């Protein structure tokens, strides 16, 4: 008898938010009155598909205990110097908890606009795809290459997508892909590590509300999306 697939969330939340330039790491900044990371965790807690959520923070993180709910979330204090190392360390800690065929949905703490509907859309579109997949958005603007503040060329946008998260892979594949990565700073998302193995993760159209909060001006945009509880895209 085949077992039903199990889905786990892994949220890297060990960044410092240098581009946000705030006094504390951006994942703890308030958005609509609540810490950004709490919105992110709640998206997974509200999904019936997700068996459990793990959040990776820095070993000396002083904020997480006040933010994570007491049920449904396990805190892993094993964050690394880059996003990739934080994910890799989290996967290593989970080696005896997850099976090789379990699915891991890696999602940035800094994307608080995720919804249970988007999680379901991703999981159902990926199905049993051997290379896993990710939410992403097709580029709609004209793309320029910038050199010294001037347009040095126009890059055809056909076929270009912006990667979002969650990015979901079976535990064994993602672990193998990240173990094979030698330069942690060269890999800015999980899918690139899988692509480097010669595989092609599936792209599933996400939504602008799932933006990554990176710069100060992103806070207001995220607040606007979070004020809309039932988006129109499903
Ligand atoms: N060493 C790191 C760096 C990043 N992240 C996480 O990876 C996600 C995406 O990274 P990004 O938006 O770049 O966050 P920061 O690294 O915090 O931001 P910045 O690059 O501006 O410093 C975030 O949830 C961040 O907390 C992490 O877990 N460990
Ligand atoms: C994974 C990611 O969200 C995909 O867009 C993104 O690459 C992570 O942020 P970073 O600034 O590149 O670390």
All domains in the chain, ordered by first residue: 7-226 (3.90.550.10)
Substitution site in 37, 56, 83 for ligand 1 pocket (most atoms within 8 Å of beta carbon): 83
Write out the two tokens for 25.
Answer: 């790491």
Substitution site in 12, 108, 164, 167 for ligand 2 pocket (most atoms within 8 Å of beta carbon): 108
Q: CB of 166 within 8 A of CB of 223? A: no
CA of residue 211 to ligand 1 center, whole Å: 14
Q: Give the confidence band of 234 by pLDDT, cuts at 50, 70, 90.
A: very low
> Closest ligand 2 atom to the C-alpha of 83?
13
**Would you state the pLDDT for residue 164?**
98
Mean pLDDT throughout 15-22? 96
pLDDT tens by residue, 201-218 = 999 999 999 999 999 999
pTM reported for the whole predicted model:
0.97
CA of residue 39 to ligand 1 center, whole Å: 16
pLDDT tens by residue, 107-153 = 999 999 999 999 999 999 999 999 999 999 999 999 999 999 999 99
Which numbered ligand comes closest to the C-alpha of 41? 1
pLDDT tens by residue, 23-76 = 999 999 999 999 999 999 999 999 999 999 999 999 999 999 999 999 999 999
- The whole-angstrom separation of Cα 138 and Cα 162 is 6
Mean pLDDT throughout 2-18? 95
Percent of the chain predicted with pLDDT > 70: 97
- The whole-angstrom separation of Cα 226 and Cα 234 is 16
Residues 6+ apart with CB under 8 A from 166: 9, 105, 106, 107, 114, 119, 122, 134, 135
pLDDT tens by residue, 168-195 = 999 999 999 999 999 888 899 999 999 9
**Would you state the pLDDT for residue 228?**
86
Say whether pLDDT at 232 is over 60: no
State the chain's mean pLDDT as an integer.
96
> Closest ligand 2 atom to the C-alpha of 162?
5
- The whole-angstrom separation of Cα 223 and Cα 230 is 14
Q: Which residues line ligand 2 (CB under 6 A)?
A: 83, 108, 163-165, 188-189, 212
Q: How many residues in total does the chain contain?
A: 234
Q: Which residues line ligand 1 (CB under 6 A)?
A: 12-19, 26-27, 56, 79-83, 86, 108-110, 212, 214
Q: What ipTM does this complex have?
A: 0.98
């Amino acid at each position: 008898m085949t077992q039903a697939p199990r889905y786990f969330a892994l949220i890297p939340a060990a960044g410092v938010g240098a581009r946000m330039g705030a006094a504390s790491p951006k994942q703890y900044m308030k958005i609509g009155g609540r810490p950004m990371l709490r919105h992110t965790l709640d998206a997974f807690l509200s999904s019936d598909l997700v068996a459990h959520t793990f959040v990776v923070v820095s070993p000396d993180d002083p904020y997480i205990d006040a933010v994570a709910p007491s049920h449904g979330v396990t805190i892993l204090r094993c964050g690394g110097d880059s996003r990739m190392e934080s994910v890799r360390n989290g996967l290593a800690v989970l080696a005896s908890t997850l099976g090789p065929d379990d699915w891991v949905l890696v999602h940035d703490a800094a994307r608080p606009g995720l919804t249970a509907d988007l999680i379901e859309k991703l999981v159902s579109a990926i199905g049993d795809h051997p290379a896993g997949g990710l939410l992403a958005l097709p580029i709609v603007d004209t793309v320029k290459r910038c050199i010294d503040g001037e347009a040095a060329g126009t890059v055809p946008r056909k076929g270009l997508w912006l990667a979002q998260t969650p990015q979901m892979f079976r535990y064994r594949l993602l672990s193998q892909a990240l173990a094979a990565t030698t330069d942690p700073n060269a890999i800015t998302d999980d899918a690139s590590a899988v692509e480097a193995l010669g595989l092609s993760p599936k792209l599933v159209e996400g939504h602008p509300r799932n933006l990554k909060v990176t710069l100060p001006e992103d806070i207001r945009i995220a607040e606007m999306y979070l004020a809309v509880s039932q988006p129109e895209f499903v």
